[in-house]
């Protein structure tokens, strides 16, 4: 069986079977009217009696589909429209144009059946009551979602083990570390076992160990429950660890939708070659082997086109006294930055 999430299809025994996408956005747009005021007293009086507005485009004609069970990275700089898009997908705000369906529902109608199927976690917001133990907040969530006491105990125990939160849920939330609070927030958001997870910066501000713990949990949860995840993050390690597919949004428009490896192939047609020499050489001599990006003592970093990689590495090894040589992909952050600078819609 070959699963192709880009085409949302499965090839089984030569037959192409289409998935029904769990998230469908077509020409999704959101415009905000902003009042315009001229400076001075005259402008203030005019603004008071007869206001004029201009339209701010937060999201414009964004279209994509996500299959059940996919983990998709949603990337973009601050103000690109990521959070606005998530709010439209979860029904918090009404789109100005286009259509959107999530798990078969129109989000802004906020049907009870829809709310049972989704969750939204925002790294900058919290739902747990600060001065109470997390367990008390979880009991409130269980009542909201009509979860029986027996099922509540089972789910809390299961998620507590997956998140390594044993002994933490009976402590006041304010006494938990930032990483423990984020894990507890995830537990609260997943208590009703949603089919679709919208995660907005879930590892924001966490230390490296806590970030790894959250990533491991999300990977395990996805595999165990086949939950669909749309993840935004400024930490590229989150994306590279969890997502094979990424959506890039910039200035409200979708710039790229595809495989993460395909993004590297398209916007980073080169490799980085790190060379440690037995003795230092001049920049002039080293430049004859390729584009020198940096030189520190005996360590040189080259930027080499992919098609010239084998030839360049062979020449360096044949001509120079090399102690060590490493070939790597350029950092994903650098590649994505290049996409935003190019400003070309995919």
Q: For the segment 18-32, what is each residue's pLDDT rounded down to a tens digit?
A: 458 999 999 999 999
**Is residue 13 scored above 90 in pLDDT?**
no
* pLDDT at 343 exceeding the cut of 70: no
- Could you report the per-residue pLDDT of 221-245, keeping only the tens digit for each? 999 999 999 999 888 889 989 999 9
Q: Which residue has the higher pLDDT, 17 or 120?
A: 120
> How would residue 159 be classed by pLDDT, with cut points 50, 70 and 90?
very high
Q: Is 193's pLDDT higher than 70?
A: yes
Q: What is the pLDDT of residue 19?
A: 54
DSSP-based three-state secondary structure for 96: coil
Q: 54-69 in b/e burial notation, b at 16+ Cβ within 10 A?
A: eeeebbbbbebbbbbb
Q: Report whether pLDDT(260) > 70.
A: yes
Q: Which of helix, strand or coil describes residue 85?
A: helix
pLDDT for position 330: 77
**DSSP string of 171-216, one letter each residue:** SBGGGS-HHHHHHHHHHHHHTT--SEEEEESTTTT--HHHHHHHHH
**How many helices (H) and strands (E) are present in the chain, helices listed first?**
12, 16
Helix 134-144 × helix 178-190 angle, to 10°: 20
Task: Sketch out the chain's domains with CATH numbers.
Answer: 60-264 (3.40.50.300), 271-328 (3.30.70)
Q: Average pLDDT for residues 112-134, to the nearest whole number?
A: 91
Check residue 2 and give its pLDDT: 31
Q: Check whether 345 has a pLDDT greater than 60.
A: no
Tokens of 92: 């918090």
- pTM equals 0.78
Higher pLDDT, 125 or 341: 125
Q: Residue 14 pLDDT more than 50?
A: no
For the segment 273-323, what is each residue's pLDDT rounded down to a tens digit?
A: 999 999 988 888 899 998 898 899 899 999 888 888 999 999 999 999 999
pLDDT of residue 205 exceeding 60: yes
* Residue 9's pLDDT band (cuts 50, 70, 90): very low
Question: Using CA atoms, how far apart are residues 233 and 7, in angstroms rounded to an integer?
Answer: 24
Which one has a higher pLDDT value, 343 or 197? 197
> pLDDT tens across 100-109, in order?
999 999 999 9
* pLDDT mean over 59-87: 94
Residue 338 pLDDT exceeds 80: no
Q: What is the DSSP string of 42-60?
A: HHHHHHHHS-EEEEEEEEE
């Amino acid at each position: 069986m070959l699963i192709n999430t880009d085409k949302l299809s499965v090839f089984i025994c030569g037959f192409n079977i289409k998935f029904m996408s769990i998230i469908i956005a077509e020409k999704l747009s959101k415009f905000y009217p902003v009042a315009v005021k001229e400076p001075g007293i005259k402008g203030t009086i005019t603004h008071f009696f007869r206001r004029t507005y201009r339209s701010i485009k937060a999201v414009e004609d964004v279209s994509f589909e996500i299959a059940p069970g996919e983990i998709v990275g949603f990337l973009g700089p601050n103000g690109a429209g990521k959070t606005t898009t998530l709010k439209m997908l979860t029904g918090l705000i009404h789109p100005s144009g286009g259509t959107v369906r999530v798990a078969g529902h129109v989000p802004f109608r906020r049907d009870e059946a829809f709310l049972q199927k989704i969750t939204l976690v925002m790294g900058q917001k919290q739902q747990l009551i600060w001065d109470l133990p997390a367990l008390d907040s979880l009991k409130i969530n269980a009542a909201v979602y009509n979860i029986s006491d027996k099922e509540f105990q089972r789910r809390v125990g299961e998620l507590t083990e997956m998140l390594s939160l044993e002994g933490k849920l009976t402590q006041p939330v304010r006494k938990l570390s930032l990483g423990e609070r984020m894990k507890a927030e995830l537990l609260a958001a997943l208590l009703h076992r949603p089919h679709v997870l919208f995660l907005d910066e879930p590892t924001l501000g966490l230390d490296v160990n806590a970030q790894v713990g959250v990533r491991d949990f999300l990977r395990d949860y996805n595999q165990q429950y086949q939950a669909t995840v749309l993840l935004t993050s400024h930490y590229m390690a989150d994306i590279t660890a969890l997502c094979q597919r990424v959506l890039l949004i910039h200035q409200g428009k979708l710039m790229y939708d595809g495989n993460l490896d395909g993004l590297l192939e398209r916007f980073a047609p080169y490799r980085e070659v790190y060379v440690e020499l037995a003795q230092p050489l001049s920049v002039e001599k080293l430049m004859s082997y390729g584009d020198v990006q940096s030189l520190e003592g005996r360590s040189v970093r080259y930027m080499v086109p992919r098609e010239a990689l084998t030839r360049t590495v062979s020449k360096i090894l044949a001509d120079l006294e090399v102690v060590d040589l490493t070939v790597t992909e350029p950092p994903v952050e650098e590649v994505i930055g290049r996409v935003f600078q190019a400003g070309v819609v995919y």
